[in-house]
Amino acid sequence: MKQHPFCTDCEQIPQVMDLPIAESVKQQWAELETRRNFLGRSGKVLGWAALASLMGERGLRSEPTATSTTAQHKTSSAGEFKPPPFAPKAKRAIYLFMSGGPPQMDLFDYKPGLPALYNKDLPDSVRGGQQLTGMSSGQARFPIAPSHWQFKRRGKTGTWISELLPYTGQIVDDLTIIKSTNTDAINHEPAIMLMNTGNMNAGKPCLGSWLSYGLGSMNDNLPTFMVLQTKTNPKQNNQPVSSRLWSSGYLSSEYAGVGLRSDGDPVLYLSDPNGVDHVVRRNMLDAVEAINRQTFAELGDPETNSRIAEYEMAFRMQTSVPELVDLSKEPQSTWDLYGPDAREPGTFAHNCLLARRMAERGVRFTQIYKRGWDVHVNVTGILPILCQETDRGCYALVTDLKRRGLLDDTLVVWAGEFGRTVYSQGGLTADNYGRDHHPRCFTSWMAGGGVRAGITYGETDDYCYNVVKDPVPVRDFNATILHCFGFDHNKFTYQSQGLDQKLTGTTPASVVQGLLA
C-alpha cells in the first residue's frame, strides 16, 4: 500500500497485488512491471523474428514447440489455416446484409388476415407496451397497414412469397426462411451492431472477424474477410454503414474485413504510384518491415505484427485483386443469370457476382451491404425499387453457387438488423403507408452449407407483430452460423479485459437445431 499523491482523506490506494483478482492476472502484471522481464522478452522476440526471417514462416510453423511459445509474436496468424473443433458443413459464407430493416410482411411473412383489418387500430394487447421509436411515439393511433402486394405460392414447397420477389420465388426450395428472427434493439446503430458483433456497443469483433480468427485463410493472396458496398440510391433512406461493422474489435486487426470500393480502384492505394515499379515497391516494403520489426522488438505491441502482415497482404493483392474483379472472362451464361445490372460495378447484382468469384477463390467471408431498406414513408413507391435492385442478385447468386457445386459448402445469409411495424407510420392512405422499426420479429433466410433447404422456420402472430413459435434471437442466429462452421459458440472464446469473450455474448444462446441439415 502506498499513499496516493493527490488524495488527502483516503490514505491509501489499492494495489493490483492486493485486489481480489485471479493469480494469473497478477502474474501477468508482475511480469510487465519487471524491467528485467520486459527486456528479456524483447530479446527473445528479436531472436525469434530473426529466426523467422531466416527460416521463412513455414519453417517455424512445422516446429510445434516453437509455434506454441511464439504464437502471439508470429507475423501472420491469419495466413494460417486452422481446423475447427468439429467437422464443418460450411467452408465459407456470403452474408447479404439488408441495412435499414426490410418489411417482413411485404416480402416473406404472408398475413392473409390483414386486409380485413385495414385502418383498424393495432390492439394494445398485441403491442404489449412495446417501446416506440422517436418517429412514431407521437402518433395518436396505430392503424394497421396490410401489404400492398399479392403473395403467391412458389416452388415445390409451396412457400408464400410476395410478388415483389419474383426471382427469389424461384429459389425458395433452396432457402431456409426464418420468420421468427428477433432482436433487442429498436434503432439502427445498436441493432446493426448487435446483428454483426453480438453486442450493441461498438468495439466487439464481428462475425466475419471471428470466423477469420477461428479458421484462418484458404487463400494467401486474398483477405479472409471482404466487404462489398452497394452503391446507394438517392431516392432511398440510406442509413450510414460504418467500418465498425467489419471491425475486428479486440481481435488482432488482421482479422478485420477488407472493403472493396464500388468504383475506381477497388482498394485504395493498392496499385503502385506513378514512377514506382514492382521492385522498388518490394524493396520499400522490405525496409518498412525491418523498421516495423525493430519497433515490435522495442515495444512488443502485437499490432505491429498485424501491420507487417497487412503490408504483405496488400502487396500480394496487387495481382490477386485485379484478377478477382476482372469479369471479362465470365461466360455469357453468367450475364444471362445475373442480368444486365451486373455489368455495372457497384450494383447489388455486380457485388453478388464478385461474391461468387471470391467464394471460388477461397475467401472465407464476404459481406455485401445493401442500404436503403429504412422505409418510414412511401413504402409503395420505394419498396419495388429496392426489390428490383436486389431480387435478381440473390436468385442469381444462389443459383450460380448451386450449379457450380459451391452451394454445398457455402452458407448464404440474407438478413437486416430488424423488421418493420405492421401499423403505418404517418398517414395511411388507400395506396400508401410507411413502416417504423420493429425488433420483435423479422424475416431472414439462409441457404447452402449446413442448413436445411426448403423449410420455413418459426411463426409470427396474425398481426406479424410477435413471434408465436420457435423464436430465433440474434444470438441463436449467430450461434447457428458458427455451428455450420464447426464451432461451439460457448467454447469459441477470446480472452479480453478479463472475460472469455464470445460472439453470442453472456446471455445463454443456443444453436437452432431445426435449421440444420
**Sole binder of another protein in the list 58, 71, 129, 513 (CB under 8 A):** 58
9-44 b/e (C-beta count within 10 Å ≥ 16 → b)? eeeeeeeeeeeeeeeeeeeeeeeeeeeeeeeebeee
Q: How big, in percent rounded to 5, are the helix, strand and coil portions of the chain?
A: 40, 15, 45
- CB count, 10 Å around CB of 384? 16
- Judged by beta carbon, residue 89 or residue 148, the one nearer another protein is 89
Q: Count of residues binding another protein (CB under 8 A)? A: 40
CB of 94 to another protein, least distance (A): 17
Task: Examine residue 140 and tell whether it contacts another protein (CB under 8 A).
Answer: no
**Sole binder of another protein in the list 75, 88, 349, 479 (CB under 8 A):** 88
- CB count, 10 Å around CB of 192? 27
Phi, psi of 42 (to 5 degrees): -60, -45
Task: Examine residue 87 and tell whether it contacts another protein (CB under 8 A).
Answer: yes
Task: Examine residue 319 and tell whether it contacts another protein (CB under 8 A).
Answer: no
| CA distance to 141, 143, 170, 277, 330, per residue, from 111 (Å) | 21, 16, 21, 62, 41
CB of 85 to another protein, least distance (A): 5
**Sole binder of another protein in the list 14, 43, 47, 85 (CB under 8 A):** 85
Asked whether 192 and 417 are in contact (CB, 8 A), the reply is yes
In this chain, which stretch among 234-242, 271-279, 360-368, 458-466 interacts with another protein, using CB under 8 A?
360-368
Task: Examine residue 170 and tell whether it contacts another protein (CB under 8 A).
Answer: yes
Task: Examine residue 325 and tell whether it contacts another protein (CB under 8 A).
Answer: no
Q: Which amino acid is at 132?
A: L
**Nearest alpha-carbon partner for 175 in 434, 414, 488:** 414
CB of 452 to another protein, least distance (A): 7
CB of 320 to another protein, least distance (A): 10
- Judged by beta carbon, residue 144 or residue 447, the one nearer another protein is 447
Q: Which amino acid is at 162?
A: S
Give the three cell numbers for residue 113.
388476415
According to DSSP, the residues that pair with 499 across neighbouring strands are: 496
User: Of 399-458, which residues contact another protein (CB under 8 A)?
Assistant: 399, 402-405, 407-408, 452-455
Task: Examine residue 153 and tell whether it contacts another protein (CB under 8 A).
Answer: no
In this chain, which stretch among 263-271, 307-315, 358-366, 504-512 interacts with another protein, using CB under 8 A?
358-366
Task: Examine residue 392 and tell whether it contacts another protein (CB under 8 A).
Answer: no
CB of 126 to another protein, least distance (A): 26
> What's the rounded Cα separation, in Å, for the pair 25 and 30?
9
Which H, E and C letters describe 330-398, residue by residue? CCHHHHHHHCHHHHCCCCHHHHHHHHHHHHHCCCCEEEEEECCECCCCCHHHHHHHHHHHHHHHHHHHH
In this chain, which stretch among 18-26, 134-142, 218-226, 468-476 interacts with another protein, using CB under 8 A?
218-226
Task: Examine residue 337 and tell whether it contacts another protein (CB under 8 A).
Answer: yes
- Judged by beta carbon, residue 176 or residue 196, the one nearer another protein is 176
Task: Examine residue 83 and tell whether it contacts another protein (CB under 8 A).
Answer: yes
Give the three cell numbers for residue 329.
472472362
**Sole binder of another protein in the list 333, 429, 493, 506 (CB under 8 A):** 333
DSSP 112: T
CB of 311 to another protein, least distance (A): 19
DSSP string, 244-261: GGG--TTS-GGGS-EEE-
Asked whether 457 and 444 are in contact (CB, 8 A), the reply is no
- Judged by beta carbon, residue 215 or residue 258, the one nearer another protein is 215
Task: Examine residue 158 and tell whether it contacts another protein (CB under 8 A).
Answer: yes
> What's the rounded Cα separation, in Å, for the pair 391 and 393?
6
- Judged by beta carbon, residue 296 or residue 487, the one nearer another protein is 487
Element (DSSP H or E) covering residue 413? strand 410-415
CB of 354 to another protein, least distance (A): 17
**Nearest alpha-carbon partner for 397 in 99, 97, 161, 96:** 96
Task: Examine residue 336 and tell whether it contacts another protein (CB under 8 A).
Answer: yes
- Judged by beta carbon, residue 400 or residue 476, the one nearer another protein is 400
**Nearest alpha-carbon partner for 242 in 360, 371, 114:** 371
CB of 516 to another protein, least distance (A): 10
User: Of 236-295, which residues contact another protein (CB under 8 A)?
Assistant: none
Task: Examine residue 360 and tell whether it contacts another protein (CB under 8 A).
Answer: yes
Task: Examine residue 331 and tell whether it contacts another protein (CB under 8 A).
Answer: yes
Task: Examine residue 59 and tell whether it contacts another protein (CB under 8 A).
Answer: yes
- Reported as half-sphere exposure (CB side, CA atoms, 13 A), residue 205 has a value of 26
- For the chain, the residue count is 517
Task: Examine residue 486 and tell whether it contacts another protein (CB under 8 A).
Answer: yes
Task: Examine residue 469 and tell whether it contacts another protein (CB under 8 A).
Answer: no
Give the three cell numbers for residue 56.
521463412
- Judged by beta carbon, residue 246 or residue 485, the one nearer another protein is 485
- Judged by beta carbon, residue 26 or residue 89, the one nearer another protein is 89
CB of 43 to another protein, least distance (A): 28
Residue ranges in contact with another protein by CB under 8 A:
58-59, 61-62, 81, 83-88, 156-158, 170, 174, 218-221, 331, 333, 336-337, 360-362, 399, 402-405, 407-408, 452-455, 486, 517
